[in-house]
Structure 1
Amino acid sequence: MSNSATTAAAGATKTTKPKKNHLSGGFFKFILIRFLLIIPTVFILVTIVFFVMRATGDPISAALGGRLAPDELQRRIHAAGYDRPLIVQYVDYLGGLLHGDLGVTMTDNQPVISILTHYGAATFELAFLSLIVALVVGIPLGRLAARHRDRAGDAGIRVFAILCYATPVFFLGLMLQLIFAVWLNVLPPSGRVDWTSEAQFARLVSPTGFYIIDALQLGDMSVLADVLRHALLPSLALGLLTAGVFIRLVRTNVISTYTSGYVEAARSRGVSEKRLLDKHAWRPALIPIITVMGMQIALMLAGAVLTETTFEWKGLGFMLSNYLKARDFAAVQGIVILIAIIVAVVNFIVDVISALIDPRVRY
């Protein structure tokens, strides 16, 4: 066979070779298994929360004990079924969960599900804005510190990161209020909006509870500006706390890939440092970064409790603090369960993203 025929045959073989499918059956099997793991995870968390909440007695005695006559207290306990065996209450509670019934609060007699839907939007909005702050501050500074390792800029960024994640969020919040609301008087100290914007939201037929979206529905840029002005300080307080973790995380992982063999080989070929960072060192460093970022997003919801209390931001964290003070275990249980579900879902999303970036994660 001539050389031209051999080349043509090789070319045909190369042409007919099927392309590698990155989204193979193994990927979808991995995703399915991770998704199914959400069910036992949430079930275990629900079970732990239920029995821990009942460890100090029934919810009615915890919330209203000492404020009702003994006969009235017993009547309410019996009416709510809290005098039945604990395992029977547990089975009934699981049945209610399957139908979307989380019970009724003891202190204000509201369905727990309505508390979650009404105040949950505020917490998610704060967490979303805080995440934007954390990503905008943490990732660029972490990459910059890695690129200028052991120089003055790197040292300054590391000090900034330590100050961010070592400062308690409530203290940082108080400092931001003191500087921007009291001394400079350029931002509001607390709340989600002024009363004038609140009145505007009351005109909406179907408000979402996400004030940014509701302001866009109104089409009033002054309301949107008011929402963002109120959100700036709490999102900075919570976002900078997480940004400190992101800076050190990005710096550490990018430096570790910078010293790997394939990056050194690319550097010896004369590849610029910027290209080394963007094309060679950044993507391999993403897997541990994304994993820890997912955990930080979940922890951000826990940090929202102190942040919302500091800024009187009426979300789930603010309400959780109030219900804990009132010992309203039914409300606390519902809020904690919702947060547990969010944590499980966030971990699932992180697993999916990690598998898309690096196929080795699937095996």
Structure 2
Amino acid sequence: MTADTVVAGRPSPGVGTAKKKDKKESGLLRYLVVRFLLIIPTIFILVTMVFILMRTTGDPITAALGGRLSADQLAERVAAAGYDRPLFVQYLEYLGNIIRGDFGTTISDNRAVSQVLLTYGAATLELAFYALIVAFIVGIPLGMIAAYYRDKGQDASLRVMAILFYATPVFFAGLLMKLIFSVWLGWLPTNGRASTRSDLLLQALPDKVGIYVIDALRLGNPQVIGDVLVHAILPAITLGLLTAGIFLRLVRANVIGTLSLDYVESARSRGVSEFRLVRKHAYRPALIPIITVIGLQIALLLGGAVLTETTFEWKGLGFQLVQYLQARDFVAVQGIVILLAIIVAITNFVVDIIAALIDPRVRY
């Protein structure tokens, strides 16, 4: 060991620091690799479960068209689609098709399921994004206020509000919102993603993304932009309040926990106001649990989107899922459910990355 790296028989501080840095980097890399590899069995199990559940009613052709075709026509359609083969053979073929991005063809309207997913998936992601913004805007500030007034009347009221946000059925909240803000007050539209005129302009846009607010910005028409945003208000609030209740309680609990730590007590003893303690010292640590549960809330948002989209006729994957369920088109249902599961799995992985970068304790 050279003189540059040894001081009084011990490695220099620079060597120790480098080793710690390498250890942290290797720990982060190992954590991310493990989390990524866990996505594969998760998706595999979900695909298998969905496939088996969809086959419990028989083959998809008979389930969708039984009673509307003769026995010979049904048999011909079943054989042409390959549903008369052993179930294990169908399963292996379906896995191979999914790996290639082929989710099959819908029975009710003869469309490629992958095209249905691309067409309507953007609308669902747009609604989930709006709802997440509402959840942040409502849940985090109210959680901080509840922590500031802990064990007082304001705190009790906000906790009851959080329970109501979470416990109220999404479809009931949506109908109530429509009744108050659309029917009684006439402030907001009752359904759809845009008015008929705006919708036609957006559909005619070449190379459209499918996310209306982005397409409206590309169109450069202020009226269309305003129309799109106005139509999104009620669905976003309805779905966002569901998650806002969870965020409120999480922020409150973590801010209160942070306020009891030694460094906060030290700041309090120096005369720092309680409001400044909440805003300055307890705010950021309280956000870490929020980030770690966002992945789980994405699953909740996508599940709630099914009822929200149906209530507001927001034509996304949730709306289409209900239509295909009513038509007993289990090929389409299977594809939509699997895509939603993949989105949730990938979102959880991204959230794990963000959480590990913010809080090193997550990696170990």
Shorter-chain TM range is over 0.9
Q: Which residue of 1 aligns with 2:220?
A: 219
User: Per-residue displacement from partner, 1:224-255 (whole Å, max 9, x unpaired)?
Assistant: 10001111101010011111111111111221
Deviation of residue 296 (structure 1)? 1.2
Matched, 1:49 2:53: no
Q: Aligned letter for 1:320?
A: L
Aligned partners of 1:202, 1:26: CA distance in 2, in Å?
48
Q: Which residue of 2 aligns with 1:94?
A: 95
Q: Which residue of 2 aligns with 1:338?
A: 339
Using the TM superposition, name which of 179-188 and 264-273 deviates more.
264-273
Aligned partners of 1:193, 1:281: CA distance in 2, in Å?
41
Decide whether aligned partners of structure 1 residues 101 and 16 sit closer, same or farther in structure 2, where only a CA change above 3 A counts.
closer
Q: Which residue of 2 aligns with 1:30?
A: 31
Contact 1:121–1:315 (8 Å) recurs in 2: yes
Aligned partners of 2:283, 2:196: CA distance in 1, in Å?
46
What's the Cα RMSD here?
A: 1.9
Contact 1:246–1:293 (8 Å) recurs in 2: no
Q: Which residue of 1 aligns with 2:281?
A: 280
Q: Which residue of 2 aligns with 1:328?
A: 329
Matched, 1:296 2:297: yes
Q: Which residue of 2 aligns with 1:40?
A: 41
Q: Which residue of 2 aligns with 1:68?
A: 69
Q: Aligned letter for 2:117?
A: L
Q: Which residue of 1 aligns with 2:83?
A: 82
Q: Which residue of 2 aligns with 1:247?
A: 248
Aligned partners of 2:139, 2:51: CA distance in 1, in Å?
37
Contact 1:135–1:243 (8 Å) recurs in 2: yes
Structure 2 matches for 1:344-359, cutoff 5 A?
A: 344-359=345-360
Q: Aligned letter for 1:146?
A: A
Q: Which residue of 2 aligns with 1:181?
A: 182
User: Per-residue displacement from partner, 1:148-205 (whole Å, max 9, x unpaired)?
Assistant: 1122322222222222112111111111111111111111100111111112113311
Deviation of residue 38 (structure 1)? 0.8
Decide whether aligned partners of structure 1 residues 288 and 116 sit closer, same or farther in structure 2, where only a CA change above 3 A counts.
same
Number of residue pairs matched by the alignment = 352
Deviation of residue 289 (structure 1)? 2.6
Aligned partners of 2:144, 2:262: CA distance in 1, in Å?
19
Deviation of residue 14 (structure 1)? 6.7
Contact 1:253–1:289 (8 Å) recurs in 2: no
Aligned partners of 1:42, 1:294: CA distance in 2, in Å?
15
Contact 1:257–1:284 (8 Å) recurs in 2: yes
Deviation of residue 357 (structure 1)? 1.8
Aligned partners of 2:328, 2:64: CA distance in 1, in Å?
5
Using the TM superposition, name which of 180-189 and 300-309 deviates more.
180-189
Contact 1:139–1:246 (8 Å) recurs in 2: yes
Q: Secondary structure at the match of 2:69?
A: coil
Q: Secondary structure at the match of 2:197?
A: helix
Unmatched runs of 5 consecutive residues or more in structure 1: 1-8
Q: Which residue of 1 aligns with 2:266?
A: 265
Q: Which residue of 2 aligns with 1:6?
A: none
Q: Aligned letter for 2:205?
A: L
Q: Secondary structure at the match of 1:37?
A: helix
Unmatched runs of 5 consecutive residues or more in structure 2: 1-7
Aligned partners of 1:41, 1:201: CA distance in 2, in Å?
37
User: Per-residue displacement from partner, 1:263-304 (whole Å, max 9, x unpaired)?
Assistant: 323323434334432443333333333222321122100000
Aligned partners of 2:285, 2:176: CA distance in 1, in Å?
38
Structure 2 matches for 1:302-317, cutoff 5 A?
A: 302-317=303-318
Q: Secondary structure at the match of 1:24?
A: helix
Q: Aligned letter for 1:154?
A: D
Aligned partners of 2:56, 2:262: CA distance in 1, in Å?
56
Aligned partners of 2:360, 2:216: CA distance in 1, in Å?
42
Contact 1:323–1:331 (8 Å) recurs in 2: yes
Deviation of residue 27 (structure 1)? 0.7
User: Per-residue displacement from partner, 1:334-358 (whole Å, max 9, x unpaired)?
Assistant: 0000011011111112211221122
Q: Aligned letter for 1:177?
A: K
Q: Secondary structure at the match of 1:125?
A: helix
Q: Which residue of 2 aligns with 1:119?
A: 120
Q: Secondary structure at the match of 2:192?
A: coil
Q: Which residue of 1 aligns with 2:5?
A: none
User: Per-residue displacement from partner, 1:108-165 (whole Å, max 9, x unpaired)?
Assistant: 1100001100000110010000110000000011011111112232222222222211
Contact 1:237–1:307 (8 Å) recurs in 2: yes
